[in-house]
Amino acid sequence: MDEHDLRKTARQIRLLDLETVYRAGAGHIGGEMSAIDILTTLYFHTLSIDPAQPDRADRDRFILSKGHTACALYVTLAVRGFLPEEELNTFLQPYSALNGHPNRVKVPGVETNTGCLGHGLPIAVGMAKAAKISGENWRVFVLCGDGELQEGSNWEAVMAAAHFKLDNLTLIVDNNRLQQGARVSDTNKLAPLGEKLSAFGWHSVDIDGHDISQIAHALDANQQQPGLPTCVVANTFKGQGISFMRDRVEWHHKVPDVAQYQQARIELEADLP
């Protein structure tokens, strides 16, 4: 898929995400809009995966550690063919497989049950270590929120990944600089994130997390540094693509009313002429 098609797909996923959250009356739309360009690039460009064989042993692994943005993952998996698009209508409904946080037992393509923050990176370290022990060349990607990195368990895993020389592991930080209640910098600041990861022995790059070509380039296998895990600090905006949500903390989990929903649709549809 070329860059134009990836952007079109990202727009389609944003529209479906908006519609699904609006219909369900709940979700985490701000953090979903910030992550969708990354998810699109992973699922339609980078990851070696097969919807017909979601458990294929040599598949690349992806963990959505910021599990509260599950809706964006479900939409991406549906568009990629892992689940029927109609199933998105069940999001958050009683007994739906599509819980507010992803469940690997119920949703094909989900690798582990996230929702508790700070869990994805340790699991990704274990996955990458398994590939190394077996001498296999599948890769592991994990997407964390920036606020999520306040959880100490991440830093245990950051040290382990460097120690184990896991160059098959890529951490992508959705660096939208907002957490649930406030700006990250006003809560427990993480900056300078890239420098911190470098100091821990990682290869670190900063990119525009809404520029598909920059994301694709940063995730390319030829960008891996031998012996070093990679951290891609993807600078993003919460609510990206929808003017009144963009960079606004209250859109962490606010739900649009009918006028806001229609306005958001118009803006997203106009995004790609």
Partner 1 sequence: MSLSPKLHDCRDAFVASLQREAAQNSNIVAVCNDSVGSSKLSGFATQWPERLINVGIAEQNMVGVGAGLANGGKVPFVCAASCFLTGRALEQIKADVAYSQANVKLCGISSGMAYGELGPTHHSIEDFAWLRVLPGIVIIAPADPTETQGAVEFAVQHEGPVFLRLSRVGVPDIFDSEHLFVPGKANILHEGDDLTIIANGTLTHRALDAARVLSGQGINARVLNMATVSPIDTDAIVAAARETGAILTCEEHSVHGGLGSCIAEVVVQNHPVPMKILGVPGIFAPTGSANFLLDEFGMSAEGIQAASRDLVARKGG
Nearest to 17 by CA among 32, 38, 37: 32
| Amino acid in the structure at residue 69 | T
Nearer to partner 1, 131 or 173 (CB): 131
Exposed / middle / buried, residue 115 (Cβ in 10 Å: 0-12, 13-18, 19+): middle
How far apart (Å, rounded) are the C-alpha atoms in residues 172 and 207? Answer: 10
Nearest to 17 by CA among 242, 246, 259, 273: 242
Nearer to partner 1, 135 or 273 (CB): 135
The answer to the question of residue 124 lying near partner 1 (CB under 8 A) is: yes
Nearer to partner 1, 134 or 225 (CB): 134
Nearer to partner 1, 152 or 273 (CB): 152
Q: How far is the CB of 128 from partner 1 (least distance, A)?
A: 7
Nearer to partner 1, 68 or 254 (CB): 68
Nearer to partner 1, 14 or 139 (CB): 139
Q: 143 has which bridge partners?
A: 64, 172
Window contacting partner 1 (CB under 8 A); options: 77-85, 107-115, 218-226, 242-250: 107-115
The answer to the question of residue 216 lying near partner 1 (CB under 8 A) is: no
DSSP for residue 158: H
Asked if 181 and 77 count as a contact pair (C-beta separation under 8 A), the reply is no
Q: Which of 8, 23, 129, 265 binds partner 1 (CB under 8 A)?
A: 129
Asked if 27 and 14 count as a contact pair (C-beta separation under 8 A), the reply is no
The answer to the question of residue 227 lying near partner 1 (CB under 8 A) is: no
The answer to the question of residue 127 lying near partner 1 (CB under 8 A) is: yes
The answer to the question of residue 160 lying near partner 1 (CB under 8 A) is: yes
Q: How many residues bind partner 1 (CB under 8 A)?
A: 34
The answer to the question of residue 128 lying near partner 1 (CB under 8 A) is: yes
Window contacting partner 1 (CB under 8 A); options: 79-87, 104-112, 174-182, 237-245: 104-112
Nearer to partner 1, 104 or 248 (CB): 104
The answer to the question of residue 178 lying near partner 1 (CB under 8 A) is: no
How far apart (Å, rounded) are the C-alpha atoms in residues 74 and 61? Answer: 16
CA 183, distance to chain mean position in Å, is 19
Please enumerate in sequence order all residues whose Cβ is within 8 A of that of 14, keeping only pairs 6 or more positions apart, or say none: 33, 36, 241, 268, 271
CA 133, distance to chain mean position in Å, is 26
CA-based end-to-end distance of the chain: 18
Residue ranges binding partner 1 (CB under 8 A): 57, 61, 103-105, 111-116, 118-119, 121-131, 133-134, 152-153, 156-157, 159-160, 163-164
